[in-house]
Structure 1
Amino acid sequence: MKTFHAKNEEETKKIAADLAQYLQPGDVLLLEGNLGAGKTTFTKGLAEGLGINRVIKSPTYTLIREYEDGRLPLYHMDVYRLEESGSTDLGLEEYFEGNGVSVVEWAKYVQENLPVSFLTIQLTPIGEDLMEREIAFIPQGKRYELLLKNWQ
């Protein structure tokens, strides 16, 4: 596990942009945190780090947004709306096993579709104004243990 402290949105994005330098095709990142915890802000930083120069929006109503104009494609998923229905027949595995980086918000609603190896990123607002964040990176599998070890 690796933990960072971000004082504001810009620092959150910088941490994510730094992480992006270590990502490779097929990587799966699970973003955990309450509403307003900074999940989309973190994804904006990842996109910047991957060289994606488009506006990153939360995919709440579309489930998946694809950004393919960077070093690696970025697949941003918000599966909160699948709480009731589940995710069978969505083809999420095609993204997870594809040539890009998958970022999944609210992954607990699609657990049956997740790969065995992934990196969980927990964002926790702290401080009086809740603009600061504690960002914890929890590896599941050798690939992500190595990623965190190599990431200084």
Structure 2
Amino acid sequence: MEERSIQIVTRSAKQTEEIGRLLGGLAEPGDLYLLVGELGAGKTTLARGIARGLGIEGYLTSPTFTLVNEYEGRLPFYHIDLYRLEGLGEVMDLGFEEYLSGRGVTAIEWPEKAEGLLPESYLLISLDAPSVNRRRIDFRAEGARYEELMDQLARRLKS
């Protein structure tokens, strides 16, 4: 299967959130988005946009200390931050597998902490902050569902 990827450069937090909103609007039950990037790269901003695309309003926060934030929208949205966890045991203690097998959409920050527990199919989203407001967002599809999602996202970005 050919690897499918897209790179987008945003010039503000608002643009980064808008990319997330487009993605959330295309989300289907069971979707898994892995958010990779250094602190301050825009992972939470993108996740906030995904939530908006799912019809979730109000204030959304980073789950750095709560580990998981759950929201109800068009689909349930689970925003998970594994940054503070040490080892697979702590990840499993979250009920991690339940979030992945649910009817909602799951976005995971610091997914490398769950290596070995992740399914083979997901959308990998790598964020980089080359300057204060600028973000480079690389999307890579792993699996047929996410290749289709990338095609849909590319069409939305062109329109």
Which bin holds the TM-score, normalised by the shorter protein? over 0.9
Residues in 1 aligned to 2:105 and 2:115: alpha-carbon distance in whole angstroms: 18
Identify the structure with the greater helix proportion: 2
> In the alignment, what sits opposite 1:42?
46
Is the 1:43–1:103 Cα contact (8 Å) retained in structure 2? yes
Q: Does 2:65 match 1:61?
A: yes
TM-score, with length taken from structure 2: 0.89
Residues in 1 aligned to 2:90 and 2:34: alpha-carbon distance in whole angstroms: 17
Deviation at 1:83, TM superposition (A): 2.9
Residues 106-136 of structure 1 deviation map (CA, whole Å, 9 limit, x = unaligned)? 0000112211111010111123xx2100111
> In the alignment, what sits opposite 1:78?
81
Aligned partner letter, 1:135: I
Q: Does 2:146 match 1:144?
A: yes
Residues 2-53 of structure 1 deviation map (CA, whole Å, 9 limit, x = unaligned)? 1111000000011110111211010000001100001111111111111101
Aligned partner letter, 2:114: V
State percent identity of aligned pairs: 44
What secondary structure, in the 3-state scheme, does the structure 1 residue paired with 2:92 have? coil
Aligned partner letter, 1:60: T
1:28 to 28, 32, 48: 32
**Regions of 4+ moved over 4 Å:** none
What does residue range 1-12 of structure 1 map to in structure 2 within 5 Å? Answer: 1-12=5-16
TM-score, with length taken from structure 1: 0.93
Aligned partner letter, 2:117: N
**Number of positions where the alignment pairs a residue of Structure 1 with one of Structure 2:** 149
Deviation at 1:86, TM superposition (A): 4.3
- Structure 2 alignment gaps of length 5 or more: none
Query: CA RMSD, aligned part only?
Result: 1.2
Residues in 1 aligned to 2:69 and 2:127: alpha-carbon distance in whole angstroms: 21
**Farther-moved stretch of structure 1 (105-114 vs 84-93):** 84-93
Residues in 2 aligned to 1:107 and 1:49: alpha-carbon distance in whole angstroms: 22
